[in-house]
């Protein structure tokens, strides 16, 4: 039985979770030039790997974590996840015919809410947004509205950003 399956079955998991929760698992490793996520074949408890990360290195720079979706999350909008709504609002890369293999999917809040749209974008999601990534900052900010994203995208399309 995997770490995800041993958790309470009714709990939804956030694929952009925190590393410091008791239930946190490593979802994948950031790799390649684009910093995309290479998903692990099996979940690994975050507590087993956090001690191996060199001092001074922010764990989210190299790993992606999943943890329980919580009602107190700043991204929570009623029963919905506002973060995934903002993520799927941004035009993504051309979609492949299939989605990445993911051990979290059966319990994933993003899958439950948006289905395959979230899965196509999930490998590009970072949980540590860099200061010079204006779009990333907008998407990560819980106060960003759909209209603000649409305006940014329209401006970027006109300016060739």
Please state the pTM of the whole predicted model: 0.74
pLDDT for the residue 1: 40
Range of the domain at 154: 3-159
pLDDT surpassing 50 at residue 7: no
CA distances from 139 to 7, 22, 110 (A): 29, 27, 15
pLDDT surpassing 50 at residue 161: no
Could you read off the pLDDT of 140-152 as tens digits, one per residue?
666 777 777 777 7
Calpha distance 102→106 (Å, rounded) = 9
**Which residues share a beta bridge with 76?**
81
pLDDT for the residue 81: 93
Angle at 56 between CA 51 and CA 59, to 5 degrees: 55
Could you read off the pLDDT of 65-119 as tens digits, one per residue?
999 999 899 889 899 999 899 888 887 766 666 888 888 999 999 999 999 888 8
Q: Angle formed by the axes of helices 82-89 and 146-159, to 10°? A: 20
Total tally of structural domains belonging to the chain? 1
């Amino acid at each position: 039985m995997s770490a995800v399956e041993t958790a309470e079955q009714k709990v939804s998991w956030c694929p952009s979770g925190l590393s410091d929760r008791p239930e946190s698992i490593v979802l994948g490793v950031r790799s390649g030039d684009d910093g995309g996520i290479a998903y692990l074949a099996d979940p690994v408890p975050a507590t087993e790997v956090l001690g191996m990360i060199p001092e001074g290195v922010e764990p989210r720079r190299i790993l992606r974590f999943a943890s329980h979706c919580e009602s107190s999350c700043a991204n929570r909008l009623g029963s919905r996840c506002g973060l995934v709504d903002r993520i799927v609002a941004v035009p993504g890369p051309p979609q492949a015919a299939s989605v990445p293999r993911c051990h979290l999917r059966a319990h994933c809040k993003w899958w439950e809410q948006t289905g395959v749209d979230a899965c196509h974008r999930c490998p590009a999601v970072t949980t540590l947004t860099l200061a010079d990534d204006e779009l990333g900052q907008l998407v990560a900010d819980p106060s960003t509205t759909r209209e603000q994203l649409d305006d940014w995208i329209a401006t970027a399309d006109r300016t060739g950003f």
